[in-house]
């Protein structure tokens, strides 16, 4: 009998912790999130329903401390050979329940990854921020404040633009950075995050990586203002808004690594973000399979179960086949990440890794959009019903395709890598 | 929004008569003044403004009685020859708001079905015309065919389950069925137009007022889009209907599907046009790679071309379908089946095309396309909802079977 765990993945890649950890996360999500998710759309602003579930997952299960070393009360994932694969498993399970929850967690890891994954580790900053995430029973979020009003996806296009369009400035005054700028759309903004990772420029207009700075800014500092959350088509669990930094002062050692290294360490986020995006999508697709399977087994066309009609079977067979292939690709992307420090691997910031994982994410996104759209049509009269959950995923996963520079940047990165394009 | 969309999106099948053109201009003015230029206001107070704007269209402009025969107090656009003009109005309305468009199209389709032939039955046309030409906004809801439930044999319409049964009674008929799902508006309808099966399993269409005895509405259903068309399932417990409320002419169900494919296709294409307008403005003002505008980047331009191309093709196909419907007139049963088949093929292709346009366009707008502020996400949700409900069940499979039946004379599929 088919179940979602039988969708293919390269078993030899899987972490020994996978099965038990997955079971724990899944059962928690099935209690804390899935029974309530149909009411999340109306909760987008206040998070009255969403917040308690986050407390259970982030603090209760301890997901928010995943990257921190054991000695600080964390889970030590940042130093694990299985970091990407464990992250994939967690995000896949979260994506099955609600991709908004998945992105809130993954983006909490994002700025922390810049300082906690070899070869870019900043022990002092890890020790500084660990208590914020590890010594609490409430959900704590971080955010990566990248996008700027004028720049769109330019910041994700760091290889080409080298940060020359960044307008958020960092000026060193004595032993403090003074930060000024306006960011928008980060996941976990809208009043949620306690800590921001802020890409800035120390020399506006420069495309020299030496002038790119990644600086940590606690959200409660004077001069940090967060706007309310945007109202969106879906993903209610992920709040997004504007953030203004006006003469915000942080200690000089809140800069991640220093000139040159900041740009490299920051660029790792692209690969991590793309791989985890695949995990959100394959998780959602696995839930699509569950829901679709129920519908086509209990509803009829020609007075026979839908799945027993050859024409319908052709459609749903393709959907399940695409889910299977996407999951294989997603785990391959995770493995590319986990090979980063191996002799046969490539660094996360290499064109090789960026090109490959962007390509996989683009492919999986397209397939997910096709599968969900088609599944809604299979449900027909019921396809748009919130009661079947598929339409929620359909709205949510579109966002996964759009973010981080979206489809077109994925296509460009793939072209740059596979064809050695020099001017794109 | 300064583009001349009539120049950009040609419509060779559009009616040239002054009456049709002037009504289309009126609806364009309504759309622009009341909704398109006031998107933010409309977004923030959607449900209240929706009712107000819909009333203006239905009652003040009078479009609710557009397809009511002239002799019954309507505008007399009840002939199939009006299909091209009705299509253009569906597009104009959909450009503003798909919910309003779908509800308007439903009211038109009701009278096109009832009074689309010169020998239309006096009842129920007269009594319904009295209601629909009054000062109240009226809402019919269609119950078509869809999925059945495993273990429950139902009569079929070309493979799709017929959700209700009609039986003779001492006076008139009774209508029965449970868990019946209208396309939209089940929670707000004053009349249900139900595809049902008679004792021989033959598909018929019955009209039952929402306040009739034995009609029970279920809890409201939250849907992806068309959020102003509050839907709810209904149960029919031997609901009595007068004899005249059962349309027993052959081909009535096919005609209903034909009109809905045409008019709801028009609503989606209209939403696609407004999506194009918003995206075009966006691509004029946003830059890429720190310099040039989006539209001057070849990759982005190819996405923009996909959007414009899909919307343009959808309108061309619908124009052709309107021509086919208009030319058919009151044709023989074979003509009805042919038109039905073409309507299914074109309707499916149009919904797919507009959805593809919107999915592509959202890629370019990125997060902004996903924010409610820009309004494109509403068009995207609305059209997806129309696409899915028109499928009924099984995605494109039933329409493909209809097509294969027509072109290859298949008998068992």
Same structural domain, B120 and B148: no
Same structural domain, B261 and B129: no
Helix (H) or strand (E) holding B341: helix B333-365
- In tens, the pLDDT along A350-363 reads 989 999 999 999 99
| Domain-embedded: residue B270 | yes
Identical fold for domains A4-140 and A144-261, yes or no, is no
Q: What is the CATH number of the domain that holds B125?
A: 1.10.540.10
Cβ pair B384:A373 closer than 8 A: yes
Same structural domain, B366 and B222: no
DSSP A263-284: HHHHHHHHHHHHHHHHHHHHHH
| Domain-embedded: residue B413 | no
- In tens, the pLDDT along B180-212 reads 999 999 999 999 999 999 999 999 999 999 999
Residues A422, A416: Cα–Cα separation, whole Å? 7
A 239-268 residues with CB < 8 A to B? 240
Determine whether B211 is exposed, middle or buried from the number of CB atoms within 10 Å of its CB (0-12, 13-18, 19+): exposed
Q: What is the mean pLDDT of residues B97-107?
A: 98
Same structural domain, B200 and B237: yes
Q: How far is CA A146 from CA A165, A184, A190, B160, B307, in A?
A: 12, 8, 14, 51, 29
Locate all alpha helices (DSSP H) within A299-405, ordered by sequence. Answer: 310-338, 351-379, 390-402
| Nearest Cα to Cα of residue A146 among A117, A111, A173, A179 | A111
Same structural domain, B312 and B360: yes
From B247, B265, B299, give the residue that closes a domain. Answer: B247
Angle between helices B83-96 and B98-115 (to 10 degrees): 160
Residues B277, B93: Cα–Cα separation, whole Å? 15
C-beta of residue B221 within 8 angstroms of C-beta of residue A387: yes
Same structural domain, B152 and B221: yes
Question: Please, what is the average pLDDT of chain A?
Answer: 94
Contact list, B366 vs chain A (CB under 8 Å) = 152-153, 402-403, 406
- In tens, the pLDDT along B305-321 reads 999 999 999 999 999 99
Contact list, B394 vs chain A (CB under 8 Å) = 301, 306, 309, 311-312, 315, 378, 380
| Domain-embedded: residue B338 | yes
pLDDT at B48: 85
Tokens standing for B39? 């998107």
Contact list, A157 vs chain B (CB under 8 Å) = 289
- In tens, the pLDDT along B374-385 reads 899 999 999 999
Which of B156, B223, B370 lies nearest to residue A402, judging by beta carbons? Answer: B370
Q: What is the mean pLDDT of residues A10-30?
A: 93
C-beta of residue A153 within 8 angstroms of C-beta of residue A166: no
C-beta of residue A272 within 8 angstroms of C-beta of residue A109: yes
- In tens, the pLDDT along A81-129 reads 999 999 999 999 999 999 999 999 999 999 999 999 999 999 999 999 9
Dihedral pair phi/psi, residue A218, rounded to 5°: -60, 140
C-beta of residue A40 within 8 angstroms of C-beta of residue A238: no
Reported as a pLDDT band with limits 50, 70 and 90, residue A160 is: low
Residues B40, B31: Cα–Cα separation, whole Å? 14
CATH of region A4-140:
1.10.540.10
Q: What is the mean pLDDT of residues B136-165?
A: 97
- In tens, the pLDDT along A200-249 reads 999 999 989 999 999 999 999 999 999 999 999 999 999 999 999 999 99
pLDDT at A410: 86
| Domain-embedded: residue B60 | yes
- Could you tell me if B287 lies within 8 Å of chain A, comparing CB atoms? yes
| Separation of first and last alpha carbons in chain A | 49
Number of domains making up chain B: 3
Q: What is the mean pLDDT of residues A284-309?
A: 98
A 362-391 residues with CB < 8 A to B? 369, 373-374, 376-387, 391
Q: Where are the domains of chain A?
A: 4-140, 144-261, 262-419
Cβ pair A298:B150 closer than 8 A: yes
C-beta of residue B259 within 8 angstroms of C-beta of residue B271: no
Q: What is the CATH number of the domain that holds B351?
A: 1.20.140.10
Residues A120, A258: Cα–Cα separation, whole Å? 11
Beta-sheet strand order (sheet of A304-305): A304-305, A299-301, B148-149
Q: What is the mean pLDDT of residues A172-201?
A: 96
CATH class entry, domain A262-419: mainly alpha
pLDDT at A274: 95
Residues B135, A328: Cα–Cα separation, whole Å? 61
Sign of torsion over alpha carbons A278, A282, A283, A288: positive
Angle between helices A351-379 and A390-402 (to 10 degrees): 150
Cβ pair A387:B222 closer than 8 A: yes
Helix (H) or strand (E) holding B191: strand B191-197
- In tens, the pLDDT along B223-270 reads 999 999 999 999 999 999 999 999 989 999 999 999 999 999 999 999
Residues B88, A120: Cα–Cα separation, whole Å? 61
| Domain-embedded: residue B109 | yes
Tokens standing for B292? 């040039």
**Is A348 strand, coil or helix?**
coil
CATH of region A144-261:
2.40.110.10
Q: How far is CA A100 from CA A5, A111, A271, A383, B59, in A?
A: 22, 18, 19, 21, 43
Residues A120, A261: Cα–Cα separation, whole Å? 8
C-beta of residue A153 within 8 angstroms of C-beta of residue A405: yes
Determine whether A247 is exposed, middle or buried from the number of CB atoms within 10 Å of its CB (0-12, 13-18, 19+): exposed
From B247, B262, B294, give the residue that closes a domain. Answer: B247
Q: What is the CATH number of the domain that holds B236?
A: 2.40.110.10
Same structural domain, B325 and B397: yes
Same structural domain, B70 and B98: yes
Residues B78, B323: Cα–Cα separation, whole Å? 15
Q: What is the mean pLDDT of residues B39-64?
A: 90
| Domain-embedded: residue B226 | yes
Cβ pair A408:B299 closer than 8 A: yes
**Is B55 strand, coil or helix?**
helix
B 364-393 residues with CB < 8 A to A? 364-367, 369-373, 377, 380-381, 384-385, 387-389, 391-393
Same structural domain, B242 and B310: no
Q: What is the ipTM of this complex?
A: 0.97
**Other C-beta atoms within 10 Å of A228: how many?**
12
- In tens, the pLDDT along B323-351 reads 999 998 666 767 899 999 999 999 999 99
Length of chain A: 424
Same structural domain, B191 and B270: no
Question: Please, what is the average pLDDT of chain B?
Answer: 94
Residue in the block written with tokens 């669990």: A237
Contact list, B289 vs chain A (CB under 8 Å) = 154, 157, 160-161
Cβ pair B149:A300 closer than 8 A: yes
Same structural domain, B231 and B279: no
**Other C-beta atoms within 10 Å of B209: how many?**
18
pLDDT reading at A379 higher than 60: yes
pLDDT reading at A409 higher than 90: no
What is the rounded radius of gyration, in angstroms, for the C-alpha atoms of chain B?
21
Length of chain B: 413
CB under 8 Å to A125, separation ≥6 — which residues?
A115, A216, A253, A254, A256
Q: Which of A201, A319, A368, A381 should we substitute to test contact with B (largest number of B Cβ atoms within 10 Å)?
A: A381
Rounded to the nearest angstrom, the gap between the alpha carbon of residue B295 and the centroid of all alpha carbons in its chain is 33
Reported as a pLDDT band with limits 50, 70 and 90, residue A275 is: very high
Q: What is the mean pLDDT of residues B4-12?
A: 87
pLDDT at A398: 96
pLDDT reading at B47 higher than 90: no
pLDDT at B1: 57
| Separation of first and last alpha carbons in chain B | 48
Reported as a pLDDT band with limits 50, 70 and 90, residue A154 is: low
Residues pairing with A305 in the sheet: A300
Domain span including residue B13: 5-137
- Could you tell me if A399 lies within 8 Å of chain B, comparing CB atoms? yes
pLDDT reading at A152 higher than 70: no
Cβ pair B396:A152 closer than 8 A: no
pLDDT reading at A155 higher than 70: no
pLDDT at A156: 64
| Nearest Cα to Cα of residue B98 among B298, B274, B289 | B274
- In tens, the pLDDT along A38-62 reads 999 999 999 999 999 999 999 999 9
**Is B51 strand, coil or helix?**
helix
Residues B114, A339: Cα–Cα separation, whole Å? 69
**Is B203 strand, coil or helix?**
strand
Summary count for chain B: helices (H), strands (E): 13, 11
**Is B186 strand, coil or helix?**
coil
- In tens, the pLDDT along A317-347 reads 999 999 999 999 999 999 999 999 899 999 9
From B247, B280, B303, give the residue that closes a domain. Answer: B247
Task: Tell me the nearest-neighbour CA distance from B60 into chain A, angstroms.
Answer: 32
Nearest CA in chain A to B404: A311
Same structural domain, B21 and B54: yes
Residues A286, A140: Cα–Cα separation, whole Å? 28
């Amino acid at each position: 009998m088919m179940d979602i765990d039988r969708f293919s993945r390269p078993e030899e890649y899987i972490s020994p912790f996978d099965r038990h950890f997955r079971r724990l996360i899944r059962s928690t999500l099935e209690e804390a999130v899935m029974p309530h998710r149909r009411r999340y759309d109306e909760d987008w602003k206040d998070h009255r329903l969403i917040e308690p579930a986050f407390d259970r997952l982030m603090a209760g299960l301890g997901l928010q401390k995943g990257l921190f070393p054991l000695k600080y009360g964390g889970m030590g994932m940042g130093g694990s050979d299985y970091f990407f694969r464990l992250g994939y498993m967690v995000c896949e399970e979260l994506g099955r329940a609600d991709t908004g929850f998945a992105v809130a967690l993954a983006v909490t890891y994002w700025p922390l990854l810049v300082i906690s994954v070899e070869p870019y580790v900043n022990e002092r900053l890890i020790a500084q921020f660990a208590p914020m995430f590890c010594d609490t029973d409430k959900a704590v979020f971080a955010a990566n404040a990248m996008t700027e009003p004028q720049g769109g996806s330019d910041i994700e296009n760091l290889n080409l633009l080298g940060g020359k369009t960044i307008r958020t400035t960092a000026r060193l005054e004595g032993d403090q950075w003074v930060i000024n700028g306006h960011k928008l759309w980060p996941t976990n903004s809208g009043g949620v995050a306690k800590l921001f990772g802020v890409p800035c420029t120390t020399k506006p207009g420069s495309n020299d990586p030496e002038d790119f700075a990644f600086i940590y800014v606690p959200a409660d500092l004077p001069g940090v203002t967060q706007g309310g959350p945007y109202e969106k088509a879906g993903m209610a669990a992920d709040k997004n808004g504007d953030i203004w930094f006006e003469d915000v002062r942080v200690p000089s050692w809140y800069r991640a690594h220093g000139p040159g290294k900041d740009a490299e360490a920051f660029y790792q986020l692209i690969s991590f973000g793309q791989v985890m995006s695949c995990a959100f999508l394959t998780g959602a697709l696995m839930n699509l399979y569950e829901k679709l399977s129920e519908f086509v087994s209990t509803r009829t066309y020609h007075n026979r179960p839908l799945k027993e009609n050859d024409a319908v079977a052709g459609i749903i067979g393709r959907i399940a086949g695409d889910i299977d292939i996407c999951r294989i690709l997603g785990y391959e992307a995770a493995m590319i990440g986990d090979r980063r420090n191996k002799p046969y691997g490539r660094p996360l910031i290499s064109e090789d890794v960026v090109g490959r994982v962007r390509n996989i994410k683009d492919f999986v996104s397209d397939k997910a959009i096709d599968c969900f759209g088609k599944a809604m049509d299979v449900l027909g009269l019921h396809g748009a019903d919130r009661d079947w959950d598929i339409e929620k995923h359909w709205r949510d996963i579109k966002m996964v395709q759009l973010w981080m520079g979206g489809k077109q940047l994925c296509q460009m990165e793939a072209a740059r890598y596979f064809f050695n394009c020099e001017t794109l | 929004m300064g583009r001349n969309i009539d120049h950009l999106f040609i419509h060779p099948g559009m009616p040239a008569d002054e009456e049709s053109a002037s009504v289309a201009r009126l609806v364009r003015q309504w759309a622009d003044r009341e909704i398109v230029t006031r998107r933010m206001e409309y977004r923030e107070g959607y449900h209240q403004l929706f009712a107000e704007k819909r009333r203006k269209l239905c009652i003040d402009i009078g479009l609710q009685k557009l397809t009511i025969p002239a002799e019954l107090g309507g505008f007399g656009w009840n002939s199939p020859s009006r299909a091209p003009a009705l299509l253009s109005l569906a597009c104009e309305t959909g450009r503003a708001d798909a919910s309003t468009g779908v509800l308007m199209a439903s009211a038109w389709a009701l009278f096109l079905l009832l009074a689309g032939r010169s020998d239309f039955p006096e009842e129920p046309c007269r009594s319904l015309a009295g209601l629909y030409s009054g000062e109240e906004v009226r809402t019919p809801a269609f119950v078509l065919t869809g999925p059945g439930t495993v273990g429950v044999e139902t009569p079929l319409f070309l493979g799709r389950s017929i959700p209700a049964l009609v039986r003779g009674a001492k006076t008139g008929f009774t209508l029965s069925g449970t868990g019946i799902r209208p396309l939209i508006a089940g929670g707000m309808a004053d009349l249900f137009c139900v595809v049902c099966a008679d004792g021989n399993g033959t598909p018929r269409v019955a009209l039952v007022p929402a306040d009739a005895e034995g009609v029970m509405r279920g809890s409201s259903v939250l849907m992806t889009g068309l959020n102003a068309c509050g839907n709810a399932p209904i149960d029919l417990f031997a609901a009595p209907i007068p004899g005249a409320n059962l349309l027993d002419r052959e081909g009535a169900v096919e005609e209903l599907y034909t009109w809905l494919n045409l008019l709801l296709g028009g609503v989606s294409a209209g939403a696609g046009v407004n999506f194009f307008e918003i995206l075009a403005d966006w691509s004029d003002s946003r830059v890429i790679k720190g310099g040039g505008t989006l539209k001057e980047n070849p990759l982005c331009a190819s996405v923009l071309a996909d959007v414009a191309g899909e919307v343009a093709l959808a309108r061309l196909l619908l124009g052709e379908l309107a021509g086919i419907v208009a030319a058919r007139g009151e044709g023989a049963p074979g003509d009805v089946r042919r038109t039905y088949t073409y309507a299914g093929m074109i309707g499916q292709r149009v919904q797919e095309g507009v959805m593809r346009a919107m999915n592509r366009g959202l890629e370019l707008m990125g997060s902004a396309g996903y924010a409610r502020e820009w309004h494109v996400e509403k068009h995207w949700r609305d059209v997806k909802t129309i696409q899915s409900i028109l499928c009924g069940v099984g995605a494109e499979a039933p329409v493909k079977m209809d097509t294969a039946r027509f072109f290859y004379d298949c008998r068992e599929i």
